Structure 1
Amino acid sequence: MPSQGPLIPRRRLGQLLRELREAAGMHLEDAAEKLECSVSKVSRLETGRGIPKQRDVRDLLALYEVDDQKLIDRLVRLAGDGRRQAWWQDLSEIVSTNMDTFIALESEATNLRYCVQSVIPGVFQTAEYARELFRALYPRDTEQALQKRVDLRLGRQASFAEREDKPRVSAIMDEATLHRMVGGPEVMDGQLRALLEASERQDVTLRIYPFSAGPDLGNQCTFVVFTFESEYDRNSVHIELGAGDRWLEQESDVLRYARLFDDLGRKCLSVEESRAKISSMIGTYTSKDQPAQ
């Protein structure tokens, strides 16, 4: 299952096309006029929002007088990658535009910082926990629709596992996520065990924001910071809000949320203390008399 969708290749292609146009001393209007197309078409290609055709890319490269065959081959290849289907597009009926972008960035980011206030982060959820969570969030869904949501969640986790270049995953979870019942005792017990196992992975740093830390500005919403090593990828922040999700891509905004994450981290339990907190709760849902593992 290929982890990468079309968004990242489109963005990389667009960035390179913009640089080549500017190096050629042309404005968007100049390129559109020469190719006898709309300005919006050229703009959408440069912002990664358009579906690239290899012929259009070749025409633009010829216009910009690019004669480096390796560069031409690279851009044409990116155009082809930008047209392919992502694995999650088979589940398009439950994937919103926001979710499509979220998964695409999640599947390619070098570093991911999750700050979660309500439930266990999706990348660590068990199938049982995810199913009961979706059952509560989407009470009108059929069992078939619920299963598709679970498949999507598990697919995201599988794409992480299959990546050769493992991303660095840092997560801050409010202590309330460990206490909020999802499903039943068996579901919660299984989820806590899975969470403890995930916290021991070398590519994961998981910390608990304790009740004793009090309120914090950065602890008022769930957000994810996506950062990339490649100079052609735009760092982004996804903010989950009840009235609708928000995306931020301005460098100052990304830096602000990265700092919020770091500030929250200084108030969190240490990695070892966080593991101990999770471990102390294993078994408490299924049996009050069961000793902590």
Structure 2
Amino acid sequence: MVKPLTRGNSPRNTVSSPSMGRTPGVPHRQLGRVLRAMRLESGLSILMAAKAIGRGSGTLQRLETGHANKISDSDIDSLCRLYRQPERASELKALAAQRMEQSWWDEYTDQVAPSFGVYLGLESAAESVTIYRPDIVSGLFQTREYAEALDRVYFVEDLPEERERRLRIRRERQNLILRTVSPLDVDLVIDEGVLRRVVHGPRVMARLCRHLADLPPNVSVRVLPDAAGYPVGTTAGPFTILDFGTDSAGKALEPPVVYIESYAGSIHLERPDSVRRYRNAFQKIQRVALDRTESKHLLRRVAKEYAP
């Protein structure tokens, strides 16, 4: 069982970040990627560009990797003029402003591990997510009773107020799929065995199954039946693929990311071949899963089995 909302679970391996101290969020990385592309297009080295605007090369490198603590509007203006693209200044200033805003989960730094804080930033910026869970119902879809029962087992020493803060984090995340404006699109496949693994009694499981069946239309819930065996020839483990939308030309605004949880921590994969491999795995799993209507029928039938 993966429990990322804990101070004890630090990231074991976070791909794509040169600094383990802080992994940049999507606006950070997008800003840095644009600045780097503009510099390369102009034919300047980091040293030459930094010298031209009166900054150190290390400062500019941090900007291009999204790891700068702050960036001023004057630096953006100077870089855009240097790269002969002054018309992009307002766009980059908007990205810089986003990256200085406080995120809702900053209030819960005592409860959220750094590795999961990275994921929350990605999840909040995503346009759609693809999730496979063979082990447990993830926090986006848990009922309060289901989540509370798991927390009582995992966080044995927590005080009631600490558990309540963890539940608030789940509620904040669930707003992503419940909000009326631009809700997060989700493709979820969950193993049938997850529905049969009892957490805190039959009534809690009945409510959970009904909740999954009643999720809004932007969430596609499909159940992988036990009879399907192993669609990829092995145990794929839980994973989430995050996509961030495309521009008017159909180009991805931000490279997709695969998030993989484990008991000891988590990793983020961005290499195209890694993302492609997990997409292929999900397609194989989805191909043999029940369709949305069949899955709803199964969820309601299981709910009745637990609590007629």
Q: CA deviation at 1:136?
A: 2.0
Matched, 1:72 2:93: no
* Residue aligning to 1:8: 26
* Residue aligning to 2:79: 60
Q: CA deviation at 1:257?
A: 0.4
Paired residues of 1:219 and 1:264 also in contact (CA < 8 A): no
TM value normalised by structure 2: 0.83
Q: Secondary structure at the match of 2:265?
A: coil
Report the residue type matching 1:179 in the other structure: R
Q: Secondary structure at the match of 2:207?
A: helix
Q: Secondary structure at the match of 1:234?
A: coil
Q: Secondary structure at the match of 1:205?
A: strand
Paired residues of 2:188 and 2:222 also in contact (CA < 8 A): yes
After superposition, the C-alpha distances for 1:158-186 in whole angstroms (9 at most, x for unaligned) are: 13333622332101101111011222322
**Alpha-carbon distance in 1 for matches of 2:163, 2:207:** 20
Unaligned runs of 5+ in 1: 1-5
Q: 2:36 aligns with which of 18, 24, 29?
A: 18
| C-alpha spacing 1:145/1:176, structure 2 compared with 1 (3 Å) | same
**Alpha-carbon distance in 1 for matches of 2:175, 2:183:** 12
**Alpha-carbon distance in 1 for matches of 2:121, 2:214:** 26
After superposition, the C-alpha distances for 1:205-241 in whole angstroms (9 at most, x for unaligned) are: 1111111111344643110001122333121000112
Q: CA deviation at 1:85?
A: 0.5
Paired residues of 2:177 and 2:185 also in contact (CA < 8 A): no
**Alpha-carbon distance in 1 for matches of 2:191, 2:57:** 47
Q: Secondary structure at the match of 1:128?
A: helix
Q: 1:242 aligns with which of 263, 266, 273?
A: 263
**Alpha-carbon distance in 2 for matches of 1:258, 1:29:** 39
* Residue aligning to 1:275: 296
Paired residues of 1:209 and 1:264 also in contact (CA < 8 A): yes
- Larger relative contact order, structure 1 or 2 (CA cutoff 8 Å, min sep 6): 2
* Count of aligned pairs between the two proteins: 278
Q: Secondary structure at the match of 1:265?
A: helix
Report the residue type matching 2:245 in the other structure: E
Paired residues of 1:115 and 1:222 also in contact (CA < 8 A): yes
CA-based RMSD of the aligned residues comes to 2.0
Q: CA deviation at 1:196?
A: 0.9
| C-alpha spacing 1:97/1:39, structure 2 compared with 1 (3 Å) | farther
Report the residue type matching 2:255 in the other structure: R
| C-alpha spacing 1:35/1:141, structure 2 compared with 1 (3 Å) | farther
| C-alpha spacing 1:175/1:40, structure 2 compared with 1 (3 Å) | farther
What is the identity percentage for the equivalent residue pairs of Structure 1 and Structure 2?
29
Matched, 1:45 2:73: no
| C-alpha spacing 1:138/1:40, structure 2 compared with 1 (3 Å) | farther
Q: Which is worse superposed, 55-64 or 16-25?
A: 55-64
| C-alpha spacing 1:185/1:40, structure 2 compared with 1 (3 Å) | farther
Matched, 1:120 2:137: yes
Q: CA deviation at 1:34?
A: 3.4
Q: Secondary structure at the match of 1:53?
A: coil
* Residue aligning to 1:88: 105
Paired residues of 1:10 and 1:52 also in contact (CA < 8 A): no
Q: Secondary structure at the match of 1:245?
A: strand
Matched, 1:174 2:195: no
After superposition, the C-alpha distances for 1:63-85 in whole angstroms (9 at most, x for unaligned) are: 324322xx211211211111110
| C-alpha spacing 1:184/1:252, structure 2 compared with 1 (3 Å) | same
* Residue aligning to 1:207: 222
Q: CA deviation at 1:56?
A: 3.2
* Residue aligning to 2:172: 155
**Alpha-carbon distance in 1 for matches of 2:259, 2:188:** 14
Matches for 1:110-149 after TM superposition, within 5 Å: 110-149=127-166
Unaligned runs of 5+ in 2: 1-23, 247-251
Report the residue type matching 1:183 in the other structure: H
Report the residue type matching 2:143 in the other structure: T
Matched, 1:190 2:207: yes
After superposition, the C-alpha distances for 1:43-95 in whole angstroms (9 at most, x for unaligned) are: 23222233332243333223324322xx2112112111111100111111112
